[in-house]
Structure 1
Amino acid sequence: MAAASHVRALPRQRARPVAAGGQVHRSRAPRPRPRDQELECWGLGDFLVTIGGFQTKFLAPFLRIKIAKELDVQGHGIPVTVANTTYMGMNALHAAGALGRLPVYRYLVEEVKMDIHKPDTLIDFTPVEHALKHGRLPAVKYLLDHGANLHLQRGDSTLLHSAATRGQSEMPNKDGGLFGIIDVALHKPSVSCVKLLIQGGANVSGDNPLAKAAEKGLTEAIKCLLEAGADPNVVDRFGRLPIELAVEYGTREDVAILFPFTSPISTVANWSVDGIISHVQMEIKQLEDDNFVEKRISDLKQQAAEAFKKQDYLNASVFYTQALKMDNFDAKLLSNRSLCWLRMGDGERSYEDATECKKLQPKWAKAYYRQGAAQILMEDYDDAYHSLLRALELDPESQEIAELLLETIEVV
């Protein structure tokens, strides 16, 4: 009886129907489905019905096919209708990222011949970026194998080396901070996608993906990025190194992996894995002391102001960064550091700080003013005009905003 307890009972099988003459009825092979029924099976029917404004989950399959056919008002057939139909700026190939089903991609790319390089008009994502956002590794690989270009030119830069996508929410938008295509994979997170992108030639130097991997505790991604040449000595916008983020959010293994590649930190007396862990833990504990934090930030602000008066913008930015490390919700610190970057001619960093400042204080005119000034430095005059116009709406009495707005209008 003891041995029998390890044997699983086989599931019962339904008996086949037997005819009067003792013949066993054989089940008929399924009939091939027409193309429109394949469309329904893959979910593209749902995409078309969504465009029609219906709630697809409450509709029977035959009704979804019927509505999809009705959308083909020109009589060109469902494949052509799918190729030419958009919803909220996305076509079927963009929407396929949510499904991640390879038959969908094969049909759209190989039969319908849809453009795999074309970005949507909502968030400026290409099909491969949509697949990345949803962590669809097979779909990403399929698109790369069929010519998806990670080095696709966008204006003066490429997808991998510039602000290919903007934002920090799950659905990035054009008003957020800048980040590259690896960040899309890290945001999911999808380590497999990160590896695939690096193999495809993705740039690991821009936008500090190593810091993001450390902050998320993605051990395998950290290894992969280091092997690909990512620099562990680049701080994030709050002045934190990847190894410091690994102490706070990751594991000891993450710290040990980063340690041999990280340059010694001057404030860490015992430069070892244990030493850096103790140092960061002490800093975290100090942040719990409100009196210590308040005095430390006050001192750093004073040092930054003195450096700024001497036109030592680099050191001023360092002091502001140290203060932000203790309080990264201080909009004035971000605004001041944005001005430091501006004076040093770094438009992108100035814009990033101004954008973060705007998120913290969405009705503060100076945040929009800083953003507009950074956009002018980057020669993005159209967006600068809108930023400065909003700044003037919030502070109609500001002479400096009005003057910069007039200068921008002359250029536009």
Structure 2
Amino acid sequence: MAPHPPLFPPAAFDRAGGLPPCEPSRFSSNPTFDLAFLKAAFDGDLRFVKRGARVVGRGAEGRRLAEMLGAVRDGYGNGLLHSAVLGGSLPVCRYLVEHLRMDVDDVGPFGGTPLTFAIGRRNVDLVRYFLDQGADVHRVNHSGTPPLHLAVGEEGSCEIVELLLSKGAYVDALNLGGTALHIAARHRRDDIMKVLLDHHADHKIALGGTGYTALFIATAMCSLKCVKLLLEAGADVDGACKETPLMIAATAGSTDILKCLVLAGADANIPNSLGRASIEIAARSGRRENVEILFPVTSQIPSVRDWSVDGIITHVKSVRPVKKVMLASAKFRAHEAFKNGNYYAAAHIYREAIELDPGDATLLSNRSLCWLRYGDARLALKDAQALRMMRPGCPKACYRQGTALMLLKEYEKACGAFLDGLKLDPGNVEIEDGLREALESLKLYSSSPGED
């Protein structure tokens, strides 16, 4: 239902125990035993796993045995290796890989492999083990995400990032138009950013079709540490985008970053798409201190009669902003970014548009969709909830909310959101499909063993 699947495997990552039901494999007619087999792998019960291998294998050896064991899957598509990783059992993984010769790159839900599952669990020992066993560090999942991208994020691990890079992971691999460096900047992970830069990550790469470099994103996220690291690495302080990091810092009122960029030689005289210099942006944001920082490095603007800090602030307050032009520009740029698959950039630009026209529900709906496409369900849900408050009778708001809740695996709440949408728009096929999937997921999740 969602345009892009989540970056990590489904519900089992945060399950307290148990696995979803499964259908009989082509080598077994006993789904109850298969489920017990998978649960043993999940629980780290090596004795039962060995017994299960004998029962399912029926005397087979080598590749044939590995094939038969590989066919045992739960309702999500997790195999024995995936289940063992989700349970965190290194001994079971060793037995399955080294003794039974199961495929170390076995593909599970959403194209996830044992390695990416281990990354998702932040299990350094398992990540190291699979890498030592030759796991493919370049294999992408169904959303095109390589393992390195999965290891970088809000809860990412420096040690896992270093392990992947030591095994040849491409530091500048792209996904959704961005590199691991972009992700580190977005999540303000200066520790991971340092690791990437130490491995010669290219800070010049911009999100496809935008010009948004890691420095631009770090500035937008108000991460002074990330900005300093990038500048020390030689990042272009002005970038190749119509909006410079200096403009972004001026808009956000990030005084420390503004100082840092100015000291690094940022050009304060570059105008934005509306012809405004950074000092005018800072003055419009109401930050006198920032105007004072920019004043010495800004050339006099002809339209400002009194060329002083107070004169600039007074001038900006007296000039009526060309709101319609700014809004039209933001909408166009957001549309282009979305069309090119740059969902993070599009969401950022929609924020500008929303600030200009807070009452436009379409802008909020579009930004929620951007976050869904980017894979950030929490931000998508936040926008969907705001949209429902703004437009209680909007079925699309319910659909956006339900889709976000599905990605968050809150299936019961998703059902409620889709039902609300159908009450507003009976017969809406898109919402009906969403409700059907939510009900199926809820049934599957609720019937799993180990649930209260």
TM-score (norm 2): 0.46
TM-score (norm 1): 0.49
Larger Rg: 1
Q: Which has the higher contact order (CA 8 A, sep 6+)?
A: 2
